[in-house]
Structure 1
């Protein structure tokens, strides 16, 4: 059966209020940036020309309406985005240090994204996507946790590839132990997995990235990507492991870097029209190079979705750098 959607993603859709200088009176200013890891990834894929759709929930408020319009502007399907008048759209306040690294403070008690239920799921969409992507923020609270697990099973049964990005935000979990246990529990269900350098060590209790990659592969994924910041990414399969170097640039804001990398990786993967088992290692390597390029361009601007480059910008960047 031909799948109608290339990538469907479930999870948080929120506002990143990102530090943006100070007012005349010396007070910090925050810029309203649309974001959320799954939405960032879909934006990349949409920019690459793929059909995408978002599954989630926002509040019936000014932020929820802004986010819905943003997705539509980016060409992302919103038929499965639910607007709920009982809960407020989740907000994240993002502080940025001199290196572009971030710290987060969330307004999410509860946020609308945590209130997606299994009954809200668009089963037809889940059965008709080539890739289903989700992250761990939708596993922090019920009913979204149960809805996420149900969505994974529906997509798996329909033959979709399952993509997973564990995204550890300490303040959203009861404690580190429960966070690790929950984030690890879904790994056997996924085909592709992207994880940051710090999170790879957290989830595997190892001391180096090669060991972490092997530990994650042993739990079921066919491919693991460990992002290493400016050093690039470690790509690992059952047959081979390799670090794909990143591009040397000056980061302004690293929000969305990992999401944009993974969106670029999956977009390049889809362009080959092959299963992972059919790919040559050189093709997997090129997926990582594309992801690194998208991320390098993303971190040169503030915010998540607004910072994501076009396909033309990525191609131009690669032509200059390679």
Structure 2
């Protein structure tokens, strides 16, 4: 593919218990978690993908590792701590099949990847390091993420950040905002939804939110808005990139598919240098996000390159 480096992702693996109907009384088990979806989604798009996470010695952890390896994700920089138990997430659906993260189960929250567990070569050999807020609410994981960003910047990797806010995980809204803001100075690519923009910037006005976000001078920002497409913020401009209409059946994982698409574009081409390149990147990512909504599940719905023919 012309780039010998890999995509490096850090985060928690989850087991998603996803409702099979809008009554939310039956569930199927799937490997999940935003960073898992991105790592696997990148691999499905033909990228060398490596994932930093922590698992235990039980059957659920073995299931997680096997599923990731089946997806072609390299776990050589992940760690195993026997007592660790993988978290569970219960996903409910509204009548319109929008997802609701209803409940989290985490038996071993204090067993985390530590800063000392990170291997510098993993970052030196990465084109992009990707993260989200999924573990940042925990003090140890926050330290690890800060060190990961430091290693990525020192190693010359671009830093990608999907804020992916899940309010139930945080002690307070202010803790969440403060944590997100401390990373923005080092971020090269930021992805967030219009709802997350409203939450972070404390305004219901997208225009005002974009204005406040622009003060952080992030090189590339994608503000996703579901079927309405994506706003791209680049070099002081704000422009809209449409998405091909589809008939959605499940929106779970669409944002992660979008991120995987941006990572593929940037891995192959570097950070966009012109408005036209930003549009190309967003159009490609929008297609992947849209395709993801046409299948049930999250990881199971991550598109492959050949799936794009369905939208041509």
Q: What band does the TM-score fall into relative to the shorter chain?
A: over 0.9
Q: Does 1:179 align with 2:176?
A: yes
Q: What is the distance in 2 between the residues matched to 1:226 and 1:166?
A: 11
Q: Does 1:81 align with 2:78?
A: yes
Of 279, 297, 312, 2:306 maps to 312
SS in structure 2 of the partner of residue 53 of structure 1 = strand
Aligned to 2:104: 106
Aligned to 2:282: 288
1:63-142 equivalent positions in 2, closer than 5 A: 63-104=60-101, 105-111=103-109, 115-142=112-139
SS in structure 1 of the partner of residue 127 of structure 2 = strand
Aligned to 2:161: 164
Which stretch shifts more, 103-112 or 60-69? 103-112
Residues 279-309 of structure 1, C-alpha deviations (whole Å, 9 max, x = no match)? 3312211111111111111112222211111
Q: Contact 2:10–2:131 (CA<8 Å) still a contact in 1?
A: yes
Shift in Å, 1:231: 0.5
- Structure 2 stretches lacking a partner, 5+ long: none
Aligned pair count reads 310
Shift in Å, 1:109: 4.6
Q: Contact 2:3–2:267 (CA<8 Å) still a contact in 1?
A: no
Shift in Å, 1:259: 0.9
Shift of the 61–55 alpha-carbon distance from structure 1 to 2, 3 Å rule, reads same
Q: What is the distance in 2 between the residues matched to 1:21 and 1:200?
A: 30
Shift in Å, 1:103: 1.6
Shift in Å, 1:4: 4.7
| TM-score, normalised via structure 2 length | 0.93
| TM-score, normalised via structure 1 length | 0.90
Q: What is the distance in 2 between the residues matched to 1:109 and 1:209?
A: 38
Q: What is the distance in 1 between the residues matched to 2:218 and 2:18?
A: 34
Aligned to 2:211: 214
Of 267, 279, 304, 1:270 maps to 267
Q: Contact 1:3–1:129 (CA<8 Å) still a contact in 2?
A: no
Aligned to 1:259: 256
Q: What is the distance in 2 between the residues matched to 1:258 and 1:32?
A: 20
Aligned to 1:18: 18
Q: Contact 2:24–2:92 (CA<8 Å) still a contact in 1?
A: no
Aligned to 1:59: 56
1:1-12 equivalent positions in 2, closer than 5 A: 4-12=4-12
Instruction: Give RMSD over aligned pairs.
Output: 2.0
Shift of the 181–239 alpha-carbon distance from structure 1 to 2, 3 Å rule, reads closer
Shift in Å, 1:3: 7.3
Q: Contact 2:234–2:275 (CA<8 Å) still a contact in 1?
A: no
Residues 8-55 of structure 1, C-alpha deviations (whole Å, 9 max, x = no match)? 000111111100149xxx992211111111121122221221111001
